[in-house]
Amino acid sequence: MGEMSAGYLWRRAIARIGAEVRMQRLMVFFIVLVLGACASTPISQRAPDLFRDSWFKPADEPIDSDAVFALSDPMRSYLKTGIARQLHTEKPQLGLIKALQSGGKLNIEYDATFTRNAAEAFAAGAGNCLSLVILTASLADEMGLDVQFQEVLGERAMSRNGDLVFYNGHVNVALREKFAEQGVKSTDTTATVIDFLPDRYRLGQPVRNVSQSTVTAMYMNNRAAESLASGQIDNAYWWARTAIDLEPRYTATYNTLGLIYRRHGHINQAAFVFEHALAVEPANTVAMANVIPVLRALRRDSEAERWANRLRQLQPYPPFHFFDLGRNAMAKGDFVSASQLFQKEIERAAYYHEFHYWLALAYVGMHDPERARKHFAIARDNATTRADAAHYQMALDAQERQIRARHAFGSTR
């Protein structure tokens, strides 16, 4: 049973490679998805002529910036009755932390399936980092705490969905008590920072403060990116448009808007938006990677080559470069080379679950169940959705059965 399960997982993965390798020949586009955040450059106002409302149907879901942090009735009830006694016996920010932690009264879980607003995250008991930060801030503000959002600076993690590569940034939230007598922000520097990622992701990384309007724009950019990835282009446009209207200084949304135009077939407008982003941030590798194929499609080859040369200087190996080479090696049955290539990607993104999963599959092909088990476990522990975690657990269970069967066979010889 162990051998059969492990072999099934390996064969299914190999069967997927052919279609995915063919996909690599298509254009790959890059987008900033905010499981946290990405850097923004001050802009006095948005560029003119960015929007083309008449090209898109009305959104089929409500797009309301006020709803992002809005408390639901169950949230208010929870604060009044669910943890009221706990908040009277300890500092309010500590009581909130205990409620949010796994096993606490809220028992909030990490789940990056999609970005929820505060009320949705509360109802689901789950959310990605941005959703959980929004939920925490909403509850803390209702409790009378001073709320400060922080962008964690540093290398952004990556993920991929079809032909979209996502750069995932990160935000957390710092809570302080206010001076009750004066009703002003406390100058106490001992803020309680609530962060929903393990320390290994952010150890020693600097932070900078960002406003609530920026966090709201991040949420809307996430929803735009998620809508784009699921083929809901009209919804994506209205999410991105609203985000830019709300916070034109958050430049990640310009990149998303350019991709929306590209997917909608408006290449000239896509080029215009990407070039606007690059005029603001000339070293923005995400916008560079996206503008190059668009300029080539418009036969603006010299401009495309100029940006391609600049991108190679800043980013010699694009995201998922070694990963794709590794999957090609897997398709050819060269599991040793595949494992080496997957390890190169892990050196660049140590905790990205998919890299560890495929490295484990390479070890399955090499008949090395111990190392396969190790990396299936790492993949499970770093999964960003419940579905992925369950899949990796199934693979891990298969390896455990295989290892037990081998040990049992060895003991009977």
Helix (H, G, I), strand (E, B) or coil at 181: coil
28 falls in which pLDDT band (50, 70, 90)?
low
Higher pLDDT, residue 26 or 290: 290
Over residues 203-215, the mean pLDDT reads: 83
155 falls in which pLDDT band (50, 70, 90)?
low
* Mean pLDDT across the chain: 82
Contact 70, 117 (CB under 8 A): yes
- Lowest average pLDDT, out of 20-24, 137-141, 292-296, 349-353, goes to 20-24
Please write the tens of the pLDDT for every residue from 325-340.
Answer: 999 999 999 999 999 9
Alpha carbon distances (Å) from 279 to 41, 70, 142, 212, 247 = 11, 35, 40, 26, 18
80 pLDDT higher than 90 = no
Check residue 46 and give its pLDDT.
56
Please write the tens of the pLDDT for every residue from 371-392.
Answer: 999 999 999 988 877 888 899 9
Q: By percentage, how much of the chain surpasses pLDDT 90?
A: 48
402 pLDDT higher than 60 = yes
Over residues 88-106, the mean pLDDT reads: 70
Check residue 2 and give its pLDDT.
41
Check residue 382 and give its pLDDT.
83
3 falls in which pLDDT band (50, 70, 90)?
very low
Residue 342, amino acid: F
Higher pLDDT, residue 99 or 88: 99
Taking the domains of the chain in order of start, what are their residue ranges? 2-25+320-412, 34-246
39 falls in which pLDDT band (50, 70, 90)?
very low
Strands (E), 95-252: 109-110, 126-127, 145-152, 157-161, 164-168, 171-177, 192-194, 207-210
| Placement of tokens 């199934």 in the chain | 394
119 pLDDT higher than 90 = yes
Residue (of 253, 202, 216) closest to 130 by Cα position = 216
Contact 353, 392 (CB under 8 A): yes
- Rounded to an integer, what distance in angstroms lies between the CA atom of residue 320 and that of residue 329? 14
Check residue 158 and give its pLDDT.
66
Contact 39, 153 (CB under 8 A): yes
Higher pLDDT, residue 348 or 107: 348
106 pLDDT higher than 90 = no
108 pLDDT higher than 70 = yes
Check residue 203 and give its pLDDT.
55
350 pLDDT higher than 50 = yes
269 pLDDT higher than 90 = yes
Please write the tens of the pLDDT for every residue from 159-180.
Answer: 776 667 677 778 889 988 875 4
92 pLDDT higher than 60 = yes
The domain 2-25+320-412: what is its CATH number? 1.25.40.10
19 falls in which pLDDT band (50, 70, 90)?
very low
Please write the tens of the pLDDT for every residue from 197-207.
Answer: 655 445 567 88
* Close Cβ partners of 374 (under 8 Å, ≥ 6 residues apart): 360
Ranked by mean pLDDT, which of 8-22, 118-132, 232-246 comes out on top? Answer: 232-246
184 falls in which pLDDT band (50, 70, 90)?
very low
Q: Count Cβ atoms below 10 Å from residue 7 Cβ, excluding itself.
A: 14
Check residue 301 and give its pLDDT.
97
